[in-house]
Structure formats: C-alpha cells, structure tokens
Structure 1
Amino acid sequence: MTGTVLVTYGTTNGSTAEIAESVAGVLREGGLTVQVLPARSVTSVAPYDAVVVGGGLYAGRWHKDARRFVRRHRVLLAQRPVWFFSSGPLDPSASERDIPPVRGVQQAMTRLDVRDHVTFGGCLRDGAKGWVAGMILRSGKGGDFRDFGAIEAWAKGVADALAQG
C-alpha cells in the first residue's frame, strides 16, 4: 500500500496520544505515510487509505472522542482497513494476557469489520486531570504500565498487513 494512514486517538491526559505516536513511528519506518490526529479534530477520513483508532479506557468505556469518531465516520471506516487499540489497565495485566475489547468497542469492531484490536497498559501520572484520576493517584495506584515493546510489535503487524495489501 502506498497511501496514507490515519492514526487517531481519544485521550484525557495524553498517554494514549503517546501510544498513537509510537504506532505512527513504526508505520513510518515501514515506509507508510502517516498522519496522527486527536479524534475530535478529524473532519473526514476520506483522504486516508487505512485508519488506526485508539482510545483510553475510563470506567469500562472507550474515551468519548474515540467513540464519537467511530460513530461519525462509520460509513467510510467500513470501506477501508481499520485497527483499534485501547489503553487503560493501571496494572501489569495487559502485558501478562490478552485483554478483550470492552463491549462498545467489540460492537464497533463487528460493525466495521475491524482487522484487530489490542489492549495496552495505561498510564496515570501526578497532575492528571479529573477527580477520579486524583483519587486513583492518592490511593497509590497510578503509574506507567505501557509496554512500548509490545506496542511497537503490534504496530509492526499493522505495517506488515498494509504492505501486503
């Protein structure tokens, strides 16, 4: 494939954006042209030949910007290769086992014939926005549980699939 790939994401505190940038870097290394944008700022997916959508997980739901993006662009997304990723568990579980998509993400995957989904560990650092984030941090359960080696390996699989057409 020689077209352009959109990597888009919904995030509150930026850690999902950092995952999206890592995915985009691997796709670029694979020779693809990639644009990375927050989901709320994408006006059309028409210019893109493939799309990767990521969303942070909050209370068992994908970030609202990722959900709205998928709903708003569902017609065109159904006409191109699409991959999903989630980020969220604030523990090592995502590195220890495959975590299935949450219900709303699974439904979108079925409707759009999404090629793959993966859940990566999340990250919650001091200074994070939100009352719940503050509670989590005060309880000592924050931290960075992202595995960038796993993120890059998954992105390499996406790049390989796109290279094969």
Structure 2
Amino acid sequence: MTGTVLVTYGTTNGSTAEIAEAVADVLRKDGLTVEALPAGSVTSVARYDGVVVGGALYAGRWHKDARRFVRRNRLLLAQRPVWFFSSRPLGTSVSDRDLPPVPGVRRAMNRLGVRDHVTFGGRLEEGAKGWVAGMILRSGKGGDFRDFGVIETWAKGVADAVTHS
C-alpha cells in the first residue's frame, strides 16, 4: 500500500498527541502520506488506506474521543489495516513488561481485526487538567515516562507493514 494513513488520537493533556506525531513522523520518513489529527475532528476514514488510533488511558478506559472515533467509524475501520496504541501508565510499569490492552480496547481490536496494539508510558506534569491528575502530581508520581525510541521502533513496524501490504 502506498496510500494515505491516518494517525488519530484522544488526549487530554497532550502527551498522546505527541506520541501520535512521533508515529506519524516515522511513517512519513518511510515515504507514506500521513495525516495526524485529533480523533474528535475526524469525520470519516473513507479516504484513508490505513489507520493508527491512539488513546490515553484514564481509569482503565481509553480517552472518550478515541472510543467514539472507533465506534463511529467501525464499519470502515473493519475494511482497512488498523493499529492501536494506548498511553498513560506512569512509572516503569511499561518498560518492565508488555502491558495488554484494557478490556474495552481488546473488544474493539477483536471486532475490527486490529493488527497490533502497544501500550506506551505517558506523561503527567504540572498544569495537567483534572482532579485525579492533581492528586497524582501532589503524591509525587508525575513525570514523563514516554520512551520515544520504543515508540519509533513500533511505528517502523507499522510503516513496514503498510508499505508491504
């Protein structure tokens, strides 16, 4: 496939958007045409040949914009190659082991035939929105736990799959 790939995401504080942009950059470097857009702004996936969907995790659920995007576009997503990623875990839990998708994401993967899912570390820093975020920050557990080397390696695998399908 040499068409256009959509990288879309649901985020509250911007960390997942930055991961999505990193994924999009790798795909572009492999010669693909890529658009990276917030999930809430995508009206249709009809013009895309492949889709990467990312969602920040909150209380064991994907960001509402990512969930709504998948639900709204499920028929067309089932007809093209799709990859999912999640972000959020703080601390070293992500780098210590491969975290499985949360149940709602797993169900969507099974329904759509998603090719792969990965969970990346997240970022939570001063100024983050939300009561729970404030609590986490006050407890000293915030920080940036994203590993852009791991993100780029995964994105390279997506790029290889897209260009060879």
Q: CA RMSD in A?
A: 0.4
Over the matched positions of the two proteins, sequence identity in percent amounts to 81
* Deviation sequence 1:105-164 (CA, Å, 0-9, x none): 000000000000000001001000011111110110100000000000000000000111
1:63 paired to 2:69: no
Secondary structure at the aligned position of 1:85 is classed as strand
1:2-81 alignment runs, 5 A limit: 2-81=2-81
CA distance in 2, matches of 1:96, 1:31: 32
Unaligned stretches of 5+ residues in structure 1: none
1:159 paired to 2:134: no
Secondary structure at the aligned position of 1:13 is classed as coil
The number of equivalent residue pairs is: 165
CA distance in 1, matches of 2:92, 2:47: 37
Q: 1:2 offset after TM fit, Å?
A: 1.3
State the partner residue of 2:88: 88
Q: 1:95 offset after TM fit, Å?
A: 1.2
CA distance in 2, matches of 1:139, 1:96: 22
CA distance in 1, matches of 2:84, 2:106: 10
* Deviation sequence 1:68-104 (CA, Å, 0-9, x none): 0000000000000000000011111111210000000
Over 4 Å off, 4+ runs: none
CA distance in 2, matches of 1:163, 1:35: 16
TM-score by length of 1: 0.99
TM-score by length of 2: 0.99
State the partner residue of 1:118: 118
CA distance in 1, matches of 2:83, 2:96: 21
Unaligned stretches of 5+ residues in structure 2: none
Q: 1:56 offset after TM fit, Å?
A: 0.2
Amino acid in the other structure paired with 1:110: N
